[in-house]
Chain A
Amino acid sequence: MDTSAASTTALELARLQFAFTVSFHIIFPALTIGLASYLVTLEGLWLWTKQPRFRELYYFWAKIFAINFAMGVVSGIVMAYQFGTNWSFFSTFAGGVTGPLLAYEVLTAFFLEAGFLGVMLFGWQRVGPGLHFFSTIMVATGTLISTVWILASNSWMQTPAGFTVMDGRVVPIDWLKVIFNPSFPYRLLHMTAAAYLATGLFVGAAGAWHMLKGRTTPAIRTMFSMAMWLILVLTPIQIFIGDQHGLNTLEYQPAKLAAIEGHWESTPGESVPLILFGWPDMTAEKTHYAVEVPFLGSLILTHKLYGEIPGLKQFAPGDRPNSTIVFWTFRIMVGLGLLMLALGLWGLWLRWKADLYASKPFLRFAMWMGPAGLLAILAGWITTEVGRQPWVVYNVMRTADGVSNHSVLALSISLILFVVVYCVVFGVGLGYMLKVVAKGPDEGGGPPMDEDNLFHRPARPMSAASGNIDVPAATGN
Chain B
Amino acid sequence: MGIDLPLIWALIIGFGLMMYVIMDGFDLGVGILFPFIPARDERDLMVNTVAPVWDGNETWLVLGGAALLAAFPLAYSVVLSALYLPIVVMLLGLILRGVAFEFRINADRGPRHTWDTVFACGSYIATFCQGLILGAFIQGFTVSKNAFAGGALDWLTPFSVFTGIALLFAYALLGATWLIIKTEGDLLERMRALAQPIAITLFVAIVIVSIWTPLAHPEIAARWFSFPNIILFSPVPVLVVLSTLALLWAVNRDSHALPFILALALVFLGYSGLVISLWPNIIPPSISIWDAASPPQSMGFALVGALFIIPFILVYTAWAYSVFRGKVRAGEGYH
Contacts and interface: CB of A to CB of B under 8 A. Distances in A.
Interface of A: 67, 70-71, 73-78, 80-81, 83-86, 88-89, 91-92, 94-100, 102-111, 113-115, 118, 166, 168-169, 171-173, 175, 404-407, 409-410, 413-414, 417-418, 421, 425, 428-429, 432, 451-452, 455-460, 463-464, 466-471, 473-474, 477
A84 B56 contact: no
Given A84-B69, A166-B295, A456-B333, 6 more contacts: A86-B81, A99-B66, A100-B298, A404-B77, A425-B96, A470-B113
B221 interface: no
B189 to A, nearest CB: 12
B147 interface: yes
Contacts of B288: none
Contact of A71 (B99, B295, B305): B99
Contacts of A98: 69
A74 B95 contact: yes
A142 B96 CA distance: 27
Contacts of A114: 56, 59, 312-313, 316-317, 320
B333 A89 contact: no
B74 interface: yes
21 contacts: A71-B99, A74-B94, A75-B95, A80-B69, A85-B87, A86-B81, A95-B70, A95-B77, A99-B66, A109-B59, A111-B309, A114-B312, A114-B316, A114-B320, A169-B73, A171-B295, A175-B297, A421-B92, A455-B333, A463-B41, A463-B44
Contacts of A451: 333-335
Interface of B: 36-42, 44, 47-48, 51-52, 55-56, 58-59, 61-63, 65-71, 73-74, 76-81, 83-85, 87-89, 91-92, 94-96, 98-99, 102-106, 109, 113, 146-148, 152, 190, 194, 294-295, 297-298, 301-302, 305-306, 309-310, 312-313, 316-317, 320, 330-335
B313 A467 contact: no
B152 A407 contact: yes
B305 to A, nearest CB: 5
Contacts of A109: 59
Summarize A's interface: helix, strand, loop or mixed: helix
Contacts of B40: 463, 466-470
B298 A172 contact: yes
A429 B99 CA distance: 8
A91 B68 CA distance: 11
B65 A474 contact: no
B196 to A, nearest CB: 13
Nearest to B296: A171
Given A103-B66, A104-B302, A92 B61 contact: no
A457 B51 contact: yes
B55 A70 contact: yes
Contacts of A474: 37-39, 42
A169 B56 CA distance: 34
A95 B88 contact: no
Contacts of A471: 38-39
Contacts of A97: 298
A111 to B, nearest CB: 5
B95 A425 contact: yes
Contacts of A404: 77, 81, 84, 148
B80 A88 contact: yes
Contact of B73 (A70, A95, A113, A467): A95
Contacts of B312: 111, 114-115
B152 A410 contact: yes
A187 B191 CA distance: 54
A103 B298 CA distance: 11
Nearest to A178: B301
A460 B70 contact: no
A395 to B, nearest CB: 21
Given A107-B305, A404-B81, A425-B95, A99 B298 contact: yes
A86 B89 CA distance: 14
B92 A92 contact: no
B77 A477 contact: no
Nearest to B298: A96
B305 A77 contact: no
B73 A92 contact: yes
A459 B41 CA distance: 11
A414 B88 contact: yes
A97 to B, nearest CB: 7
A425 B100 CA distance: 8
Residue from B79, B147, B194, B298 whose CB has the most chain A CB atoms within 10 Å: B298
Given A70-B55, A432-B106, A100 B316 contact: no
B47 A410 contact: no
Given A78-B95, A455-B51, A477-B36, A96 B297 contact: yes
Contact of B88 (A85, A96, A108): A85
B51 A172 contact: no
B78 A118 contact: no
